[in-house]
Amino acid sequence: MPSLETMDTVALRDRIGRNVADIRRRIADAAARAGRDAASVRLVAVTKTVGMAEIAALHAAGAVEMGENRVEVALPKIAAGPKDILWHMIAPLQTRKATEVATAFSHFDAVDRVRAAEALQRRCEELDRSLRVLIEVNVSGEDSKHGFEPGDLPQALAEIRSFDRLHVEGFMTMAPFGAEDAFLRTCFRNLKQLADAHELAELSMGMTDDFEIAIEEGATQVRIGRALFE
């Protein structure tokens, strides 16, 4: 007879597997509504609130991109997890932790100031590494949000694009929690317009409560946490 631990593991994998399949179906449906290929949207599973059992279940379900927001919490998971996972840092940089970020992560998705980019460039040079990065943009205009103001992007991008160890792939934003759909759609649409204007392909926008709207407005990456583990 299987042990309780084994049964719990099987149940966890089944539940997370179903959730991943459901999210992928919803991604495909939203992409279809926008006349897009579902393959143009990538799932970044946000694992900041879960442990290794959930990460293993996500990986078994085919999720290979995962996001964390605290370096000290992420490092043990990265060390213990499957080696083919692409790890995204999804929170603003504490510059004293730039070495750990440059060492452990392949993506940094929240460059919100030039100073952070400078710190990552220096550490990547020292480590002979590179990072794929997204520039965080405050398209909602909220004082509580990190990120560049849209009007500051031309100068910021010119500076950050000069850092040869940082590959600027696109923009990231966080829409206001609980906002009306029309306002969310405006935020996402504005980020898409900015990306097009600056000839950037990647758009990380949309989370559990709003990712379908984000996809309809052009998201290429969605950051999903809660819906994967409920």
Find the largest Cα–Cα distance for the chain: 64
User: pLDDT, tens digit, for every residue of 112-158?
Assistant: 999 999 999 999 999 999 999 999 999 988 777 889 999 999 999 99
pLDDT at residue number 177: 84
Angle at 189 between CA 143 and CA 130, to 5 degrees: 75
Q: What is the pLDDT of residue 24?
A: 98
pLDDT score at 1: 42
pTM value is 0.94
Question: What pLDDT does residue 7 have?
Answer: 55
- Beta bridge mates, 148: 137
Are the C-beta atoms of residues 138 and 151 closer than 8 Å to each other? no
Q: How far is CA 160 from CA 122, 145, 155, 197, in A?
A: 12, 20, 9, 17
- pLDDT under 50 in the chain at which residues? 1, 3-4
Which amino acid, one-letter code, is at 110?
A
The CATH code for residues 4-229 is 3.20.20.10
